[in-house]
Chain A
């Protein structure tokens, strides 16, 4: 079965510092990859997605992610974070053996941006 591993459950950083949230997935065939953000007591909002083409994907709020097929990774980055980026971030995958109708989520990474 498809699986997603988010390597860090919590990431604390200072405001204006760069951040990388790591995500690895298990499929050896073509997949679609997503990052979502969740603010407390809210639903999930799509940050960015990789479907095909360029391996560097740009999303909302200044985030970007790089698809690395050989390492089966899709790490999320931001060069300079703000207090307002404090939230939980979820990596998700569809396609591959699991089919495209379902998403498999990682367990999430809580990003805390400190002043």
Chain B
């Protein structure tokens, strides 16, 4: 089955720790995205990558970092510099046409 997997589903960390969220896709898509979702805020773009070894900042990149070493994988690191990291994080990928994106099931990160 083709799709996007994110792991883990729930993640708990202490303040001051970096944490890495996994995103893998087997859709053979070139472009991948990370979004943050907070209640009532919609989805906000953190980072995106249109090709391996290249990525761009989105609207709220501060306190986050990414890498794109393989086409299938786009991990997101939430660093200790992110002031309010507790949120629901969604990964997506895009095929060739017209901006349509496919989403993973999400990771809910709680930092205390």
Contact = CB atoms under 8 A, between A and B. Distances in A.
A43 B105 contact: yes
A46 B100 contact: yes
Contacts of B41: 107
B interface bracket (residues with beta carbon within 8 Å of A): 20 to 34
Chief secondary structure at chain B's binding surface: strand
Nearest to B101: A103
Contacts of B92: 44
Interface string A38-57: 00011111100101000000
B108 A101 contact: no
A63 B41 CA distance: 24
Interface residues of A, number: 23
Interface string B36-60: 0000111101001010000000100
A100 B31 CA distance: 11
B106 A43 contact: yes
A45 B103 contact: yes
Contacts of B99: 32, 34, 94-95, 100-103
Nearest to A100: B99
A41 B37 CA distance: 11
B48 to A, nearest CB: 7
Interface string A90-102: 1000110000111
B90 A43 contact: yes
Contact of B106 (A41, A94, A102): A41
Contacts of A103: 99, 101
Contacts of B42: 90, 105-108
Interface string A77-115: 000000000000010001100001111011110000000
Given A32-B100, A43-B4, A101-B48, 13 more contacts: A41-B106, A42-B105, A42-B106, A43-B105, A43-B106, A90-B43, A101-B31, A101-B50, A102-B48, A102-B58, A102-B99, A103-B101, A108-B42
12 contacts: A41-B106, A43-B4, A43-B90, A43-B105, A44-B43, A49-B98, A51-B98, A101-B94, A101-B99, A102-B33, A105-B42, A105-B43
